[in-house]
Amino acid sequence: MFKIFGSKAQTFKPKKSIKKGTKQYELHQKIKETLGSGDLTDAIKLPPNETLYEWLTVNTIDFFNQANLLYGSITEFCNHKVCPVMSAGPNYEYLWSDGKDIKKPIRVSAPMYVDYLMTWIQATLEDQELFPNNVDEMPKNFMTTVKTIFKRLFRVYAHIYYSHMDRVGPLGVEAHLNTCFRHFYLFTKEFNLVDRKEMAPLQHLIDKINARRDL
């Protein structure tokens, strides 16, 4: 974990844990091992003899925790006054709707959007109908839900890059942010989780990542 002003970075929301003794926990350990080797190729590909459901589930939890921690590092600077709307530059503004409590998309500040988002993801991951601990086949609407989660997590990265890079550098978390986003992007690309048009705000970074892989 990186440090900020001499203290540990705080997660924006409570970290989502994976229960020990489960298949998902075993997969999580494998991910940690492959990430530790520095090779993201092995970290993103579906392992042999593993189900797509389990692999997407455990990675969704990990990417949620990563974005949670990264945003937690800049919450001091991302407030209602500085960021009155959730945006990624002047051409991209994001409205919030969860389809349940807030059905019609509403304009909210960036911290409010992220609060709504992280709360929604956390509740979704704990929904046994969508993310059951034991399953023989992929639950109905699972892929749609996962794609929505990743699309919205991308928006958190886009907001940080566009609105808070002046703070990220002095905090000493830029390298960590770049590594996390590279891992996030390569995973979404591998499993086609986010439409290209949704990633347009960070296309300049994505082009660099793809160029690096082509070397």
Q: 47-58, pLDDT tens digit by residue?
A: 888 889 989 999
Show Cβ contacts of residue 191 under 8 Å, excluding neighbours closer than 6 positions.
Answer: 52, 56
What gap in Å lies between CA 138 and CA 148, rounded to an integer?
16
| Residue 31, number of CB atoms within 10 A of its CB | 18
Least confident of 4-18, 26-40, 133-147, 155-169: 4-18
Residue 203 has pLDDT above 60, yes or no: yes
DSSP letters, 162-193, are: HHSHHHHHHHT-HHHHHHHHHHHHHHHHHHT-
Is the distance from CB of 153 to CB of 64 less than 8 angstroms? yes
Which domains does the chain possess? 18-76+119-214 (1.20.140.30)
Residue 1 has pLDDT above 90, yes or no: no
Predicted confidence band at 38 (pLDDT cuts at 50, 70, 90)? low
Q: Is 97 left (phi over 0), alpha (psi -120 to 50) or beta?
A: beta
Task: Look at residue 136 in the predicted model and tell me its pLDDT.
Answer: 76
Nearest to 112 by CA among 151, 82, 148, 85: 85
**Both tokens assigned to 140:** 């109905």
